[in-house]
Amino acid sequence: MRLCRRKLISTQVTSFWIQFATKYIVRIFLFSLFLIASIICIIIISTDSKDGTYTIIIDVRENRTLTTDTYLSSHPWRHASSEDEIREKLGLTRDGQLSTGVLGICPEVPYNLSGDVKALSSIHDFHTLEILHAKMHGRFEPKTCRSRQKVAIIVPYRNREHHLLVLLHNIIPFLEKQLVDFTIVVVNQALPSTFNRAMLFNIGFLEASKIYPYDCFIFHDVDLLPINDRNLYNCGPYPRHMSVAIDKFCFRPIGPTAFGGVVSFSRESYLRVNGASNLYFGWGGEDDDLYRRVNGSNMVVVTHPLSVSRYSMIKHDRDVSNGINPQRLTLLDNAVARMSKDGLNTIQYKRRTLQVTKLFLWVDVEVDEQLIWKTAPADLTLSLP
Ligand code: UDH
Ligand code: MN
């Protein structure tokens, strides 16, 4: 009896497990599949394994002493402050290049490009950068051929020295490889006015144009590093949004009308939109305004494929003097109507310094926010600050 009962119990236990297994096996299998798929997704998003490239969001916050002022005040070229002297340092004349020679024109797409490249996160001081990038003489031009365009890279700037050092270290060899004839123009907005990114675009455009009538202007955030060398730093007939795929946003476009980060304009197209608006003080809206100006001038914004328009953004917090602009939406409402009376033709600023170093042209400006508002178009339906 006892034996029988034991056998019965053991048969019952076995059949319980068989029932359990058959009932839940499908669920367990599906759950495991889901778990594996999730893990794979997380790995793909965080490493972006495309072409084996491993990109990271670079963080360069560290306690270094700032050296921009020392670099600028001790630079051997500091006495070259007139436009003529600067032009000479850059190896330019008003309408061409000092060095003559009979070089053939560079290929439209250089032959040696490789696609994805790694962003370099190392920080070198300005003097080391001059040594590492010894071909820079305020400007760079390829030695083997004549570039099709002269390009000004305009960087709106305030107090981001570490970002500037990293950008320079990345972008100089990147553009050398692309055979770009380029000058980097850092436009520094002096304190205490609220930061005005778009106005610095206009100032960069105007000040660079006093030196030379550059063909192409690339407005470039200081914290964005290009990571695909097929993203050509040149200008076509239409303005181009160059930074569509940023690692911070998992390389996905942030919207169909996004126009921030890095954008390119030919001289003609920037003049056609009367530059950017001067009225956006603080963070946000100025890029959308510029997008509307482009559409309002019978042009379109073009983009290259996502696989090419790739950038890594240096990690940062919001800047104290660049809080969210509470007027951005009101301003956006009449962006196109305002275009002809707010921009390159109405800008007011005080240039404090214009200086060239081996690495960049430095334009230091003072912006009087009250004055800008006093002279803003009278029909603006804004409550002035
Ligand atoms: N910029 C400066 N100094 C400033 C403010 C802005 O140089 O004080 C320039 C710089 O070129 C920068 C660009 O303006 O890349 C755009 O400003 P941003 O980098 O602050 O704008 P972004 O949209 O940042 O990248 C939004 C705030 C992010 C907060 C993140 C909190 N985790
Ligand atoms: Mn940024």
pLDDT in tens, 302-360: 999 999 999 999 999 999 999 999 999 999 999 999 999 999 999 999 999 999 999 99
Identify which of 66, 319, 365, 367 to mutate to test ligand 1's pocket (most ligand atoms within 8 A of the CB).
319
Measured in degrees and rounded to the nearest 5, phi and psi for residue 383 equal -85, 110
What ligand is nearest to the CA atom of residue 286?
1
Neighbours of ion ligand 2 (CB under 5 A): 223
Whether the CB-CB separation of 208 and 185 falls below 8 Å is answered with yes
Q: Nearest to residue 112, comparing CAs of 169, 179, 67, 57?
A: 179
Q: Nearest to residue 144, comparing CAs of 118, 112, 183?
A: 112
* Structure confidence by residue, pLDDT tens digits, 143-154: 999 999 999 999
Q: What is the mean pLDDT of residues 137-161?
A: 96
* Structure confidence by residue, pLDDT tens digits, 354-383: 999 999 999 999 999 999 999 888 766 554
pLDDT for the residue 382: 55
Q: Using a 6 Å cutoff on CB, does residue 219 contact ligand 1? A: no
CA angle, residues 304, 299, 229, in degrees to nearest 5? 20
Q: Is the model more confident about 16 or about 262?
A: 262
Measured in degrees and rounded to the nearest 5, phi and psi for residue 82 equal -80, 155
Whether the CB-CB separation of 264 and 240 falls below 8 Å is answered with yes
Whether the CB-CB separation of 299 and 350 falls below 8 Å is answered with no
Q: What is the mean pLDDT of residues 245-255?
A: 94
What residues are labeled active site? 221, 223, 283, 286-287, 313, 316, 318
